[in-house]
Chains A and B, each alone.
Chain A
């Protein structure tokens, strides 16, 4: 299983109390990690996402709970039945924030309204993480969320008395492709050649290596062949998908 499509979700459920717990709910405006933060379902070891030396990660999708207003929906018994966290999510690689605002200062990230999780017909995503993000061996990845609706202060409104333990208050979703072992090495080589790292391009490179089994691969002919082979594979794929332009059909073949 050298290439795996992975996902990681972080979820925060109610605690059965009235929402005043400062150990169960984060305060508004605070940034926390979905991997090792103090709230919600995080990894047991509370470790940041360190990419091992035999791994290569491509982050493709990111989303979080949508909604802006702190609109509390309550049932007859005074229990909260729906909650909008008004949250944003950002990706941090080593010490660099992916999202920055137009004045080139780090931003809170993409909102759940723009990139919702889960997706519904009433809130289709406007935001697509394209191009994807490559995370190289020995780099550390962190995904941080910030909520702007404060649960602690909301408890003081007296609108509800209980937040049930089965109520999902907030969630973050990230989807990525994990290349490990020899596939990670091939992904790294493709990146150095400027070829997009996709499942198709890595598998194509693997085929090329197998064809050249026993031959010297550390030469320019090999890398030239790799680029040309990838171009041919990509053209074929675009033709099959009906995406090819007339220039593609007018080329060599």
Chain B
């Protein structure tokens, strides 16, 4: 399985007090208990190792035989922004060249899920015709972000408004959960060598191009089997 479409989803949901049962950083919730963590206004939080919500143990770093192609990122609510970083470079920047002061792309542009209810802070969900739709980034990030072996990568989320912690003990809704979703193509093993060659040749790193390159390799090998050996090889004296 050398080409895999992966995804990672972050939420600001935290463990219940005293609860030790959770899997891959996702806590267990039940009716009357779905606590969420506070987010400070304009304070970036790393979704992998930021210490809030479900996290990883270590930052995202690619092994020597891995490439990833980050296709899409999405957030909710609209006041949340997502910024993708690779090593020390941030993807979204303001026209003056400084990394986006608002914190990247907002949930207005890339709502997660697509078609979710627009629920302004303190007002709650509006009517169904106010659903948020992803029209501007329907095909994700074009061109996508390529992360090479050995590079660190991650996503930071920034809320424009302060989000208070909640015990989630009352009537809870999905619209109260801050969340971020990132989708990427993981290329590992022998396919990462093909990816390297495609990048060196200036080709977009897509599934179709990787397949096509592998076909061409096979075709070249078939031709190679047909070709006669060079004169100096075929007439050379055996040395052993």
Contact = CB atoms under 8 A, between A and B. Distances in A.
Interface in B182-216: 183, 186, 207, 211, 214-215
Contact of B174 (A69, A101, A154): A69
A150 B211 contact: no
Interface residues of B, dominant DSSP: mixed
Contacts of B32: 154, 157, 159
Interface in B63-118: 63, 72, 74, 112-117
Interface residues of A, number: 63
Find the residue from B7, B168, B225 having the highest chain A CB count within 10 A: B7
Contacts of A125: 113-114
Contacts of B222: 220, 223-224, 227
A159 B171 CA distance: 10
A103 B58 contact: yes
B24 A108 contact: yes
Contacts of B154: 102
Interface of B: 1, 3-9, 11, 13, 21-24, 26-34, 48, 56-60, 63, 72, 74, 112-117, 128, 131, 153-154, 168, 171-174, 176-177, 179, 181, 183, 186, 207, 211, 214-215, 217-219, 222-223, 225-226
A195 to B, nearest CB: 6
A69 B131 CA distance: 19
Contacts of B6: 99-100
A242 interface: no
A147 B99 CA distance: 38
A121 interface: yes
A122 B125 CA distance: 12
